[in-house]
Amino acid sequence: MADASAGNNAGSTSNAEVQIQIPAGPPKAEPGAPSKNSGAKNWRWWMMVSVDVFFVVAGQTSATLLGRYYYHQGGSSNWISMFVQTAGFPILFLALLCFPKSSGGGGASGDAPVAKVAVIYVVLGLVIAADDMMYASGLKYLPVSTYSLICASQLAFNVIFSYVLNSQKLTGLIFNAVILLTLSDALLGVNHDETEDMSGMPRGKYLMGFLLTLGASGTYSLILSLMQLTFENVIKKHTYMAVLNMQIYMALVATIASMVGLFASGEWRMMTEEMDTFRSGQFSYFMTLVWTAVSWQITSVGVVGLVFEVSSLFSNVICTVSLPIVPPFAVLIFHDTMDGIKIISMLIAAWGFVSYLMQHFIDDKKARKAAAGG
């Protein structure tokens, strides 16, 4: 699905079913809405996209701050950090209750063969678990600045995967946005106040940290492109129920994988010790993990929603735009300093985002003109 050239209206609702935009899917004409083939988007599409953007920005900001709070107060387990990234998925069943069965969600797979969809969810769930582990472990062997710099490569990986797997249209405005957003992340990485002494880290471990973090960046981008591909070519069901189902089953597989790791590594025993030594107390430890898990689920719903309504690249763009939003909150919560580089990073991210958005407005305008003319 190439978001810039996307063609669909995303949006009328009927019987609580929310139609979302999947440009490569079968046509579904909605009376009174711009035609699918025109590629023009109606106000409902923009509203749904805005809600998903809000979920990603709010979810990722709070998950990042809570994750930092966990380490700040004495937490140290990578397996626990990995576990909470997907373990909150049961709350999505509450969201599923909002969509009656008659709304046409079609269970986990819509009209696609259940076995095929199950295999895809298991594979994607395991890849997500691997990504979560690499994402959490890279930081163990690298200074935060190096880690953040490597994470900034995520968007560049996504450009390649979405071009190859999703036929993403790459224009000057999109390239401009990707370069600016990568630069904005990289600035945050370079600017990080280095408090850790990594001088004792063996070269081999440093290299491992580098490869794990680079692997996480590539894997995350691949996951987003594969999700888009699955939705377009296999599920072909244009409902929010299908989006939620996909998120629930993939998170279930990833959570089982992280629980196996947590128990096999013996780190689960650390939980009671961590709880006892957590600086702000046991209740706070429990609440930190619960709300981190909830925040990651809110993020994931937004991320998956954006993949299906727009594209994997746009979803990753919003994840990247969220990063420079964290520092002002860290100033309030952790009394970090807000320096000029962090402000410049935010401004560059805003410029990159506007550049990407411009492409959408241009495409939408063209599509409306074509629809009016044809």
Applying CB under 6 A, which residues contact ligand GUN?
Answer: 85, 131-132, 135, 154, 216-217, 220, 319
Report whether 324 contacts 349 (CB < 8 A). yes
- Ranked by CB distance to ligand GUN, the top (closest) residue is 220
d(CA 278, CA 270): 11
Long-range contact set of residues 31-38: C-beta below 8 Å, sequence gap at least 24: 33/9, 34/9, 34/367, 34/368, 34/371, 35/9, 35/371, 36/7, 36/8, 36/9, 37/7, 38/7, 38/367, 38/368, 38/370, 38/371, 38/374
Q: How far is the CB of 185 from ligand GUN (least distance, A)?
A: 10
CB 254 within 8 A of CB 223: no
Nearer to ligand GUN, 48 or 216 (CB): 216
Nearer to ligand GUN, 33 or 319 (CB): 319
Q: Which is nearer to ligand GUN, 21 or 64 (CB)?
A: 64
Nearer to ligand GUN, 259 or 275 (CB): 259
Q: Can you name the residues that pair with 239 across neighbouring β-strands?
A: 19
Q: Which two tokens stand for residue 175?
A: 């390239």
Contact of 105 with 243, CB cutoff 8 Å? no
Supply the minimum distance, in Å, between the C-beta of residue 215 and ligand GUN. 9
Nearer CB in complex with ligand GUN: 137/166: 137
Closest CB 169 distance from ligand GUN, rounded Å: 23
Angstrom CA distances, 335 to 327, 331, 338, stand at 10, 4, 9
| First and final C-alpha spacing in the chain | 23
The minimum distance between CB 128 and ligand GUN, in angstroms, equals 8
Distance of CA 34 to the CA centre of its chain: 29
| Minimum separation from the CB atom of position 211 to ligand GUN (A) | 13
Q: Which residue's CB is nearer to ligand GUN, number 21 or number 300?
A: 300
As measured in angstroms, the least distance from the Cβ of 158 to ligand GUN is: 10
